[in-house]
Structure 1
Amino acid sequence: MMIQPRGRLLDVWSSLLRCSLDDHGWNNPGRDGSNAISDAEQLVCLLYPAFKIPGLEFSAPDATEPDVQEALSPLGDWTGAPRALARIVEGYLATYSTADGVPVFPAGDRLRAQDEGSVPSLEQAGLETVEAYSMSVTLSLSGLAFVRSFAKHVRGAELGTALRATEETLDRRLTRAMHGLLESFAVDVFREDSAMGDTLLRTLNQSRESPAVLADRLRAVLRPVRAGLRGLPLSASSARLLADESLLFQCGWAWGPVRSAEDDRPPRAADPVPSLHFTVVAMDGIVDFFSRQTLLLGLLGPEQQALAHALRLRWELTQSYWSALARFGGARWPLEDMPWRTARTEESEYATLQVASIVVHNLMRQHGVDGVAPVDDLTPLADVLEELAARGGITRRPSARGGVVEIHEPGETLPLPGSERHGPALTWRVSDYAPMLLKRMLQAAALTQDLRQRDRLLSLAGEITDHLWRRRLTGGPAAGLWDAPGAVYALSRPAPAAPSWHLTERVVEVLVVAATTVSSPPARSAQLFEIAGELLREADHLFAQELMSRPVAGSAAETVLIRIEATLRRARDVVDSRPGVAVALAGEALRELDGLALARARAAREG
């Protein structure tokens, strides 16, 4: 793992603070303007790494590492930096709350009219999205961890009171974001012979079966997911349709709170249609509820724990659904037949990457205890990720006619069905193809024990890292942040001067994943464990034989035996967690034992 996440994160912090602080204080110079999402992404770049990575915390002034303090020095000294950041968080919360303290999540300039001649209405500018909820989950959890820790190290009554108020506001925002994610979950039911049914069956049909036979097999595979969905509090129409097992369905997150027959007022504007992009965004936020840091710090209250349980159930059902589709059928996965064709939108490399992301989530959930996934699951996934890197013009020269560059700039444009009820039809733009692909490669590499497969994925990850680092801005206050795709691809547009917090935050997420992977214990190899056991057994036996020779007290032989005993004791201590180290230690003990045996044999010949 040569990404060097710690140093690169500190570089990002330095660049971020250089462009975000001016004579008037904290500001958002990002290219998407100031809104609940972009402002949160800017803050998450600072708070999230400190939340997830030991050694990057700055909430305890006396324990802050010197290089961390140097990166944060534009905010102040050891005590001034956390004080300043607490005030910035407080300012964000005040901006995105109503006068009576209710959290709001307006997407603002992130919403674009489908017709270039139109602009979103005032009502639409306040629409809330899954991306806003998910980013607020990350911001709230990391902010709560920071504020609670910092409050333990302050003495002033005024600052302590302000921190408690900030904590309460973060807690309210977290609860509201969790409700928003629940309200945005959608189940879409359709007929087998509909356009959606036809697209789905053609996507899954890898062996040229008849549609009827394929549909029957699909219903059987999805029966447990259907049963789980029927246990959820769905709308009356969705529950009725889902009970009809002749119908097909899909599940996941819509782009925002789903409208119903009873309530279609803002923010409940989204049609009840799952979107792959917003489903992956929701999943990436939900997984933080079950992270080690969230659990150890006790960040969730009783109501939030109940909401997290409800979200986890939907998270698991959605993973099971899309993973079943991705791996449906025989030897060849439908996911390998790129690009993926969705039920309501055109085929897309982005859609392939999003389905692959859900498969990675599913493998991490299934194999989270031992951290190792079967080769049969990871090999096709690795093939897909490698091909996506090539098709995305990262590891292969992009075709001028293939529209590859558009994946990165300006990105893929997604429709927001239902938004047209409150003004012009709106769209959403996503351009995080490269960092998302890198994140999934690192997560997949952490799940395999196969050295060749791991090296293959990490080699590709290195290429994507180089690609992303070449896309940093090189001039102006935002130098060192993202995104300047023109540095890699031939673009007619001039290089932007303003940073994209959307892409910068996604790169920070990747660096956090890399740091977490480096910090976690290596996956235990069963083969190395067996070899270590055999070596230790032989070393123990030879050591016992040497003890029978009764070396003279204080002699060189006794000193060597004491050292060998300590080495073997250390090897037994680490054999379960680090069998490779145990093999090396056992080998060292065996060499010394062989040296003693050789010395004794020579002495016998000379005597």
Structure 2
Amino acid sequence: MRIRPRQQLLELWRAHLETSYRDKAWVWGGRDGSNSICDAEQLMCLLYPATELSNFALDPESIAMADDVASVMSVLGDDLWIGEFLVEVTGQFFDRYTGADGEPIFAGGSYFRDVGQGAPTDEQRKLDVVDSYSMSLSLCIAVLRFVRGLQRYLSGEVRLQAGRLDERIEELTPRVQTRLTAAMTGLIRSFVIHTPHFSSAAGQEILTLVNQTGSAFKDVIADFSGTLERIRVQARNDIRSGQTPDTDLRDDNLLFECGWSWGIDRNAVPRAGSALQVGERPGFAVTEPYLYFTLVALDGVKDLYSQRTQEPDLLEGEQLQLADSLRKRAELTQRYWSTISRFGTGRWPLEDLPWRTSDGKQSDYYSLAVTSFLIQDMLDRESTTDLARTVAVLTQLAQRARITNREVPDDPAATLHYPGITLTLKGSQDVDDGPLMGYHVADFTTLLLKRSLQAARLARDVETREQLLDLAATAMEHMHDRAVTRGRSSGLWDNLAPADNVAHPSPSWFLTERMMECLVVAHNTFSRPPLATAAMVNSATGRISEADHLLNQEFLEVGDAAYSPQRRELEAIERSLDRARAIAPKRPHTAESLAADALMRLNSLAYAREDANR
């Protein structure tokens, strides 16, 4: 299946508005009801492409809205009416998830699940969760970008005509900034460094994972300490705020792992000087990183220090300090998991499928999460050193998850896609004497699709790039088969049901938002110049050089007649070769085709002259 990000994003928008905009009013919620996460996901499906991709921009300050975008959005109105409606809907979100005391709400709500010990209590459902912090962070950045565009447009007479919209933006912006600050604070206090002793159960799991050569444990411990020494020093020196007081990273008998837990760490110290409750609120999450929550936290944090965030100077005051703290944690975490995934000199721990966590859990989803850390690390460093082995892991995971292979009846791999893996939120049972809660994660295919498209940017040879794009296309086809095909939500996701595979009347915003992210990544990947290796450029240059030399010879044979057919043909060939020479470094095969055409035309001229001479 061919991936066409522009057309597919527009189709997603059209289906989104058909579902969410009814009788000139916004309808919140989906299959999982309403909570601070899925309602943010619902908004992000519109705002993220509009602020991330210039040709999807919806604010009037941008260049004229594309005709196809305007056609899709016409149900909301034109120009300012679109902006006014989106500002109003965004305000509704902040009304819904701001408490009477003005504090932002990050509760998991209906996303918290029963894991066989009873349904979560009302108090438990009010617990903050990292997924909400991260999604709110990305949403706030998108909203700020959008309203800044509107504000730049609202000047002079336009401001007088749209005075009410200007007032709404002025009312909304401080609330967005408050939620952004709170989300950043919550992420800092949810960051954890787990330091098990090597003899503990968790320590033994880590040592077994990294020991792919069967070495003695004392040698593995020494290698672990040596390999991760720089990361350990960085953690000890840079990571202080909101960290567990008794974490001792100087003891070489303690192994360590870092990342984000599911919520505020139960041992996190209050954040000094914070004016928000999230800076002082007690935590309940166990001091152990969860791969899923670490992954979503990193995605949110990267929005903070992306180029598009820095250009309009969206962050201010305390937020700049919080962003710097989160950046250090994100870089530390990414380096840690990238290093652990390739630990040792033999087979990588990542290649020993499935990945095993320090609490003894194992799943192909965890393998894909760690692969994601590795790919993102290679992207940041623009390194292709281990790309081939990483692609092999992605391919094997796609086979094991029955994305590229055929699914059989009662296939256990099917549970990766529905209902997904269930994370047990350790520590949640300490709230209100309630049961241990769970959290369903069912984005295996979209995660594979996203990382395949990102890795394709790194490929420096045609074979690897084609392998990754073929993998992405297969994952896209798998998701296409899961789209809702009838009813109001037709075109959104996800059509899987527990038993009869009947389309659910409401969409899963969890999965739809992730499909939107994949299409944005595809758009950015396809927008980059095509692959141009040194060998391809050399081949094109060789043909251009030969054609140029033959062209010079032909010019020696024609007279000075300015309008002779031969001279006009040679001048046309010259222009074609100039074009080929200009584009050869970036589009060598196109340049080679132009040179080949020039060679054919030159050969025809030479043959005609030789024939005339005979």
Q: Same fold (TM over 0.5)?
A: yes
C-alpha distance 25-405 of structure 1, shift in aligned 2 (>3 A): same
> How well do the aligned residues superpose, as a CA RMSD in angstroms?
2.5
Q: Structure 1: how far apart are the matches of 2:293 and 2:254? A: 24
How far apart are residue 267 of structure 1 and its match?
A: 5.4
- Counterpart in the other structure of 1:196: 202
Q: Structure 1: how far apart are the matches of 2:166 and 2:288? A: 45
How far apart are residue 284 of structure 1 and its match?
A: 1.4
C-alpha distance 24-99 of structure 1, shift in aligned 2 (>3 A): farther
Q: Give matches, 1:185-584, under 5 Å.
A: 185-234=191-240, 241-260=248-267, 262=269, 266=281, 268-301=283-316, 303-367=318-382, 373-374=384-385, 377-400=386-409, 402-423=411-432, 424=434, 425-486=436-497, 491-492=499-500, 495-549=503-557, 551-554=559-562, 555-584=564-593
Q: Structure 1: how far apart are the matches of 2:542 and 2:201? A: 61
Q: Deviations over 1:68-114 (max 9, x none)?
A: 12222332234422221121012112222234544332221112344
**Comparing 235-244 and 434-443, the one that deviates more:** 235-244
Is the 2:192–2:259 Cα contact (8 Å) retained in structure 1? yes
- Counterpart in the other structure of 1:13: 13
SS at match of 1:36: coil
Q: Structure 2: how far apart are the matches of 1:180 and 1:561? A: 69
How far apart are residue 251 of structure 1 and its match?
A: 0.6
Q: Among the aligned pairs, what percent are the same residue?
A: 38
C-alpha distance 266-339 of structure 1, shift in aligned 2 (>3 A): same
Q: Deviations over 1:300-340 (max 9, x none)?
A: 34543443333222222211111111111234222111111
| Residue ranges of structure 2 left out of the alignment (5+ in a row) | 271-278
Q: Structure 2: how far apart are the matches of 1:166 and 1:561? A: 64
- Counterpart in the other structure of 1:89: 90
Q: Structure 2: how far apart are the matches of 1:326 and 1:303? A: 35
- Counterpart in the other structure of 1:161: 167
How far apart are residue 492 of structure 1 and its match?
A: 4.6
Q: Deviations over 1:424-461 (max 9, x none)?
A: 22221111111111111221222213322222222222
C-alpha distance 553-15 of structure 1, shift in aligned 2 (>3 A): same
Is the 1:41–1:501 Cα contact (8 Å) retained in structure 2? yes
Q: Structure 1: how far apart are the matches of 2:104 and 2:269? A: 24
C-alpha distance 589-305 of structure 1, shift in aligned 2 (>3 A): farther
Is the 2:371–2:390 Cα contact (8 Å) retained in structure 1? yes
Q: Deviations over 1:524-577 (max 9, x none)?
A: 312112223333333443344444446323122322232233223222322332
Q: Structure 1: how far apart are the matches of 2:550 and 2:521? A: 45
How far apart are residue 494 of structure 1 and its match?
A: 5.2
Q: Structure 2: how far apart are the matches of 1:282 and 1:319? A: 11
Q: TM-score, normalised by structure 2?
A: 0.90
C-alpha distance 208-125 of structure 1, shift in aligned 2 (>3 A): same
Q: Structure 2: how far apart are the matches of 1:20 and 1:446? A: 34
Q: TM-score, normalised by structure 1?
A: 0.91
Is the 1:57–1:64 Cα contact (8 Å) retained in structure 2? yes
- Counterpart in the other structure of 2:54: 54
Q: Structure 1: how far apart are the matches of 2:404 and 2:281? A: 43
Q: Structure 2: how far apart are the matches of 1:472 and 1:539? A: 52
Q: Structure 1: how far apart are the matches of 2:307 and 2:586? A: 19
How far apart are residue 580 of structure 1 and its match?
A: 2.5
Is the 1:532–1:580 Cα contact (8 Å) retained in structure 2? yes
Is the 1:230–1:239 Cα contact (8 Å) retained in structure 2? no
C-alpha distance 23-116 of structure 1, shift in aligned 2 (>3 A): farther
Is the 1:189–1:238 Cα contact (8 Å) retained in structure 2? no
Q: Number of aligned residue pairs: give it.
A: 595
- Counterpart in the other structure of 2:113: 112
The one-letter amino acid of 1:250's match is: E
Q: Structure 2: how far apart are the matches of 1:169 and 1:383? A: 46
Is the 2:59–2:79 Cα contact (8 Å) retained in structure 1? no
